[in-house]
A and B are shown apart, each in its own frame.
Chain A
């Protein structure tokens, strides 16, 4: 489904992703954890090329995203092609990034109507279904700034789902929320996972990782240092740095 092959990313001279490889299978939920600055969000953002990388390849269902190589030459793919691949990859941001000048419903129907040329009627029907799914049927005509953080994030999830993506990427979806609102967003994500959606989630919610993830991936200093089922990572990690990281996070959580 997603194949990340030895990607390297630099911000100027700073090497932020070092030879990272990762495969995500269809229907799998992969949670990426790690200390801040370890490159986990950057890796996630590379998966739809919001963050350009300089070396390596990422394939979404066999199709490359961002960089294409012909022989020895590596070039950035044309924007139109990039848009096409991106339309198959849903993304949910830490800060929601809803469009504040549009109502909730208009937020959701914009991309299907613009990119897929769906009729307003069909797009609206789909949007109402999705709003029902995230439990916000009554908010269709509200503006984003009148919603709570948890509601905003659920709208953002519905907006991404409206493109019927094959994969959903979540970039710390609960980090900007008040603690009591985290549950409603995680609830929607759990349902998505149960429906068989392929998901890659960067999060600090260890409970979610333990409960929902099929695999947990640990990053540190731009490298992928551990990859395994959550039971193993949380109870008996191989890497001492994983152990150190978890001891800090979990002691705080308990």
Chain B
């Protein structure tokens, strides 16, 4: 068989890939939002002086970081439906699964960034009569966010790539769209190269967006 990249545009192939790409992008985006919220809450909770809270956050991290995403997705989609009669739609299970898994990693990014801020910053805020939370919100977090960006870039790119696993739970995202085409025409090389390029495009955009925010948040003359 001769290589022929035009198969990418044959019949409905291109529009199928595009709608797959769209699903990948929207699901990843929603999962990122979920992951950021979970990461912030779990990360802050882990540092809390409240024992119950920090233990719960520790358990969350241990579980979601310590088990494979594919297994988590299987439990969410097939396991819950059959074992507990909780029937999630494929995309719901997908966003939840990706978001919760990635949230565990983001919580560590949040914790690391906050703990890297000099402890004198909190002391200065407190000495001025601001509460712990006021200082956290106005002094610590704005500085920590800047330090979170590079590892968050990594994490969101990993998240996009991991979204290809959603094909296993029947989400019609890019990988699944590709699989369906390949099942018809056996053009493994051309189709998967095409898909790889599309994933690359998404991730390249993410890295550009992250570095845009890094520049925007950098402070004139700041060493941080």
Contact = CB atoms under 8 A, between A and B. Distances in A.
A163 B221 contact: no
A59 interface: no
Contacts of A119: none
A43 interface: no
Interface in A105-155: 110-111, 114-115, 143, 145-146
A86 B129 contact: yes
B138 A86 contact: no
B139 A99 contact: yes
Interface stretch (A23-31, A67-75, A76-84, A190-198): A76-84
A87 B138 CA distance: 17
Contacts of A143: 219-222
Given A101-B219, A145-B221, A163 B120 contact: no
A95 B119 CA distance: 11
A175 interface: no
Contacts of B118: 95, 97
Given A48-B127, A163-B128, A145 B138 contact: no
Interface of B is mostly: helix
Nearest to A115: B129
Interface string A2-41: 0000000000000000000000000000000000000000
A111 B129 CA distance: 7
A196 B132 CA distance: 31
A95 B142 CA distance: 20
B219 A83 contact: no
B130 A99 contact: no
A100 B131 CA distance: 19
Nearest to B121: A97
B125 to A, nearest CB: 8
B128 A87 contact: yes
A88 B125 CA distance: 13
Interface in A217-243: none
A98 B143 CA distance: 12
A160 B219 CA distance: 23
Given A97-B120, A100-B143, A160 B128 contact: yes
Interface string A158-192: 01100100000000000000000000000000000
Interface residues of A, number: 29
B161 interface: no
B82 interface: no
Nearest to B122: A97
A84 B126 CA distance: 10
A101 B130 contact: no
A1 B129 CA distance: 18
A99 B121 contact: yes
A202 interface: no
B124 A99 contact: yes
A145 B124 contact: no
A228 B118 CA distance: 37
Contacts of B142: 101
B126 A86 contact: yes
A83 B129 contact: yes
B126 A50 contact: yes
A91 interface: yes
Interface centre among A90, A95, A110 (most CB of B within 10 A): A110
Given A97-B123, A99-B121, 6 more contacts: A87-B129, A90-B127, A99-B124, A100-B219, A101-B146, A143-B220
17 contacts: A48-B127, A50-B126, A86-B126, A86-B128, A87-B129, A89-B127, A93-B120, A93-B124, A95-B118, A97-B124, A101-B142, A101-B146, A110-B128, A111-B125, A114-B134, A145-B222, A146-B220
Q: Lowest 9 CB-CB distances: which A-B pairs, in order?
A: A87-B129, A97-B124, A111-B128, A91-B127, A97-B120, A146-B221, A145-B221, A115-B129, A86-B129
Interface of B: 118, 120-121, 123-132, 134, 138-139, 142-143, 146, 219-224
